[in-house]
Chains A and B, each alone.
Chain A
Amino acid sequence: MTAETALRRTPLFDAHVRLGGQMVEFAGWHMPVQYQGRGLVAEHEATRTAVGLFDVSHMGEILIEGPGAAVEVNRLVSNDTSKLAEGDACYALLCHDDGGTVDDLYVYRLGAERFLVVVNASNADKDFAYMQKMARKPSLVHNRSDDFAQIAVQGPHATKLLQRVAPGEAIGLPRNKIRVHTFAGRDVLVATTGYTGEAGFELYCAPQSAEALWFALLDAGQDLGVSPVGLGARDTLRLEMGYPLYGHELDDQTSGYEARVGWAIKPKKEGGFVGGEALVRQQSDGLMRKLVGLELVDRGVARADYAVLHEGKLVGSVTSGTHSPTAKKPIALAWVPTGLAVNGTEVHVDVRGQPKRAVVVPFPFVTPGSLFPV
């Protein structure tokens, strides 16, 4: 068996091939990076100005349910999930004892003792093993990744499109809610979450329902300018918002405070959480480095792992970079020492041997094209 055939396929693999998806390997999966005849920039712009459809079925789904699940979830993740009512969701981190990040994830409260935790595809097995290890009741934690397909519907026309496929559903919801709806006789979880900065939905459905739902959305949205969107634009969309991508802005050695998602860390919550004490210490000791936004002044594009220089000295590195399709300029996220993490600081990025001038700027880098409530 070759590496190629060992890659996993989502239930939408055939749909991508039919739509001209350029399939690449990502986290062990065959995924479309962009679609022929559209391309990254057109797909990106469709999401900011109309509506984009994303296959995110590769993501992992871990269900934590049963008596004690609410306490268990709150001990495992960094945000305060005791504040979630049924049908609420929040972003959170799964942390090592030393404060490093196992993964970043979304927690959806489906019931009093029933939580859906959605994790990165590349980390799903690691996260499940870690949760089982750290949980007081490992039997509450179930890896259900194979039971879910996921389609994200994102952009200014997302609600209009969803209404056409599932009339009367999900009107007027703010960000971070989840509801059960019925589509073609089957239950679909409709969440007002996403990774683009746009208003929209993430739809969790059974794998066998995914293709019908995908094409129903695509067919119903033709006059709205709907576009399938590959991983290429998914990355540029999240980068314009400054959202971290695990493996770039977050990893086992990096804390959420460094990556500027401290708002999702609640160390004082009742009962604490795994890694919380280390994070409090890190916070009081002061951070060595921080993630900043960079805008290149010179022509060129900063890419991941390029060196960041200050007054000729190596001080950090780029974690992600692109040419922003919305702002139409080169943007990046980068590590710099805390003392340089000040807007307006001038640095250089080593672009293949050429130092290019860049300046520290706040992020998000763009204003999204749509806002909640949907």
Chain B
Amino acid sequence: MGKTSKDKRDIYYRLAKEEGWRARSAFKLLQIDEKFHILKDVTRAVDLCAAPGSWTQVLSKRLYENRTNNEEVKIIAVDLQAMAPLPGVTQLQGDITKLSTAQAIIDHFGGESQKAQLVICDGAPDVTGLHDIDEYIQSQLLLAALSITTHVLMTGGNFVAKIFRGKDTNLLYSQLRIFFEKVSIAKPASSRNSSIEAFVVCQNYRCPDGYIPQMINPMIDDVQMIVNATDSSVNQKLIPFVVCGDLRGFDSDMSYSLNLNEDSEYTYKEVVQKPISPAYKEILEKLKNCSIKHSAITIKHEDEAVTTESASNDDSK
């Protein structure tokens, strides 16, 4: 595999590097906006699970465009992880399942009357390989995002989040329908055809009568209607599937030549933002100096000294 093979296999990965986006997912939000105009006239927006920050980048670019009164624009990026700073964005390192985080967002926007007009969430877990768990974890992330959204979103506001389509997605759509007038499933052209991801675009937030915004926990929820929302066929029919992005544009499943057009010559570019602290980072560091093909690395924590133990009296060649 050559250095450029990913550039050829994944056009949006390459374009993201060339246009300075932190991740290819930036194009997904841009393509959703092309169709739904969710960024139009928005001055207060929240990006949940923001790291590495490509959606925040889109907000930071588009919300300040053609605007004279920049101080009106308020963008908050929330994540548990630290994220490299972006111009015009307030970062909040916090947990989206905590009420305090919701309060901090509301305070930043200037109180109850100045709630967010748009909440977006592109967060996803590392997939385990068991689709049922992955789909469940993603749905819980979405519910957590929805919970905090019910606190911070103003009536009439919009909410966009990633979902994994699978066997239980109808239930999720039904739950979202309780809070929004219109719910659509969007598949941007930059999201691969083979990928299970799609996006829910929820428009016109309207809190149901008697509902007190809270952190939704599936088991101990007082609001039974959320738990009991069913995947009835009536509900299904209300959810339109919308393909976003110009299909005559770039195809995310297609491999492209490095020479996209005749005039410009291809130059290789490094990624804008590398992963900050992946789980495998430590082991990769350790494996730079030794192999664990037949042995293991043992760390005794009392003295934190590293010793390499072999599988069996493994004398070297």
A and B: partners? no
Residues of B within 8 A of A (CB): none
